[in-house]
Chains A and B, each alone.
Chain A
């Protein structure tokens, strides 16, 4: 991971690539690995916007209607600032139509207001804003729990089988094969049926127990190549134990693979939960989830389309944000990533290299970042292109 700035021999020929490499070197001069990754990530505008949107959705969902989760008997409840909860049934007003209006009065609208039921009400009168917020909470909880459990198991299994090889590798990988053979939607449906009525948390735990397989294979592949590197030998000669080598030397170098796939796993988990709830195997009544809202109301599309648009919009928003963040992380962590400036920017940069150096010296690293942006900074929404993009096969509810 540390050699990202070293020009590859094949690319150093020709003046254009020289200029590229110099720019690249200049940009990351004197920065630690973490700083490089962070800078690259924050330069990915899609990922940055997604982070903000996702944070907003999370805060909105958890503050508005308050938590209510019970993990295996322990209840956690907090109140929210929104006037309704997802179980209250106020009287339907105005046919349940949404009161949210964003068109100001002078443009012929009803003025900017939220009203009593911004997302509308369903047939019996439940406030859809509260219901959708509750569903969003469930999705977020499931996403993080599946992510954490799946990543932990996957990393440990992958690291052990890649590092020790031999019989441990065979046993663990055959076991992984067994789990991977069962389509995730099938496992989800079977376990969902069994634990769906225990709430989203239990469902997420069980899904997490089956969702680690893809990551385990990727981590194993990464560890297999890392364990042959010199720094592992050096650590061993210095007397480090196997555990120390794995956790201190090998895994930190595989962090890119792990984090990127964690985001993909999380995006897949959201869609999996909605798909399961849609099939009736996920979260059960009286609790609700985004997939369940859509499933319950799909026949009402002609008469009450808002029952359908809002939960769908939130599913897509969360999944899209996670996917973009994953893309940004992939860009940031990929050591092979060539930051290709556009030819115009490159020409300008080659001509002004001295100016650039002076500017950088003047304003320091952070300032230079802004200065350089736009002219040199590569357009960063781009590098989904580099390999390893085998994300959610099979785990995407439907494909």
Chain B
């Protein structure tokens, strides 16, 4: 095992070295780095050219200049750009910005992709399955810059216009949404035609009711979940997770989940109107999430009886959902102030940039600002990677469902839930885990176009600007980070596979 890892690492380092060499020469030879100076009419043109040549060692041919660059990189110095700025500083900033951009979209895309992939696999060859197949092909064929312009036009500008004065959803839209949600639930939940009709009616009715209440309470200009919303979601999560993970027959799990949800509801008022004012840094929010996991885990442990594992899991998922909903409500509390503040002026959804300049406010206001700026790029990224995850998880689950041990499990008389969740789903996750590891490695470099369209100064713009100016240093910094991560995560993907699937041996 250790030999395998070391051998792979050594081979990878050499591969990366060779790749950087090729890349460096490609970039350096792709144009003339002095072009802008040669065309300039500055009186001290010769002098400027001279100083740039000295700054970037342009008098050394690229194949040899690589080694100067390489000697610096070994010491952790990525050099300077054409303008003489330190690449290290740029890199640090760009990395942070890109990580912020891609993290949420990846998590959401994986989550949604898994859910949709699993439901389509379970309802294989249904109308729902066909529609999702078509939609994922469509998403897969979309150029991201095209989607981005559409999103800017319809989501950002359209929604901001909608918020302008007295936002009320039109009746037609409510009717359409109700039909869509009815059709969706009816196709996902199995049963006879009569049961499907009932499902359809309930889902459509609930949608109409929810949207009407939202209209009546002026929800779009001052959104809030209130304690009622938190209670519904908390208890819903408790029941839902119990039904999914252990089945409602397991009373201990249900009780533990309900206790956790109740605790969340009880903490709603103290948190919203007192405790949350003490949360001023992001790490505090993270600490609260960890605390939630610990407390709900403990509740699950003590309520668990002889089969603790699943009960603890149910409790933790419920606790996290409740905590998330409460935090969401806290963010919503400042929405009105944020949207009407002097900087935002009633048009909250931003089309470019990573944050509103000079915006001052609490952590909660900052959070809303991040949200409004992340919304569009995140949607664009999700649309595109969602398709892949859906197809993978569907394929993977179908493959597992055809295995003999699934038939054995069914033959033993296990419930469909146990077969799917405990036997099939877990094994279907193995290949997906490796794909996820692989994708995370490719993420940092994967959003070049998205960054450009939405005006983020991240890794993509570092790369792109460098390339435009025929400036190898920032491009190579981008490449070393992206390539290094890709190689590292490739290795991790292999190890994860070997760890999860005992049939695979790493040698």
Interface residues of A (CB under 8 A from B): 10, 46, 174, 177-179, 181-183, 185-187, 189-191, 193-194, 267, 271, 274-275, 278-281, 291, 294-295, 298, 301-302, 308, 312, 315-316, 319-320, 323-324, 327, 338, 340, 342, 379, 381-382, 384-387, 389-390, 393-394, 396-399
Contacts and interface: CB of A to CB of B under 8 A. Distances in A.
A323 B141 contact: yes
A327 B463 CA distance: 35
B23 A182 contact: yes
Interface in B469-507: 479, 482-483, 486-487
Q: Which 5 A-B pairs have the closest CB atoms?
A: A319-B141, A398-B144, A398-B449, A320-B141, A312-B146
A10 B487 CA distance: 39
Contacts of B479: 182, 186
B133 A381 contact: yes
A240 to B, nearest CB: 33
Given A382-B133, A389-B395, A399-B442, A181 B15 contact: yes
Interface string B414-452: 000000000000000000000100110010011111101
Contacts of A298: 145, 149
Nearest to B468: A280
A394 B442 contact: yes
Interface in B15-36: 15-16, 18-19, 22-23, 26-27, 29-31
A90 B398 CA distance: 57
B141 A267 contact: yes
Contact of A320 (B137, B395, B467): B137
A195 B384 CA distance: 29
Given A190-B30, A386-B395, A387-B399, A399 B446 contact: yes
Interface string B136-160: 0110111111100100110000000
B448 A279 contact: yes
B384 A399 contact: yes
Contacts of B398: 385-386
Interface string B358-399: 000000000000000000000001001100100110110011
Contact of B445 (A183, A190, A194): A183
A254 B296 CA distance: 53
Interface residues of B: mostly helix, strand, loop or mixed? helix
Nearest to A11: B402
Of the candidates B145, B384, B445, B447, the one having the most CB atoms from chain A within 10 angstroms of its own CB is B145
A307 to B, nearest CB: 11
Interface in B100-157: 121, 124-125, 129-130, 133-134, 137-138, 140-146, 149, 152-153
A254 B146 CA distance: 36
B420 to A, nearest CB: 16
Nearest to A327: B137
15 contacts: A178-B18, A182-B19, A274-B143, A275-B144, A301-B149, A301-B153, A315-B141, A316-B141, A320-B141, A323-B137, A385-B121, A394-B446, A397-B144, A397-B448, A398-B384
B388 A399 contact: yes
B395 A387 contact: yes
B391 A398 contact: no
Given A302-B153, A399-B385, A381 B130 contact: yes
Given A183-B446, A185-B449, 8 more contacts: A191-B26, A281-B467, A291-B143, A386-B399, A387-B395, A393-B438, A399-B381, A399-B439
Most buried by B among A186, A278, A302: A186
A10 B143 contact: no
Given A301-B153, A398-B447, A385 B145 contact: no
A275 B395 contact: no
Contact of A193 (B19, B31, B145, B438): B31
Nearest to B18: A178
A332 B266 CA distance: 59
A185 B15 contact: no
A275 B145 contact: yes
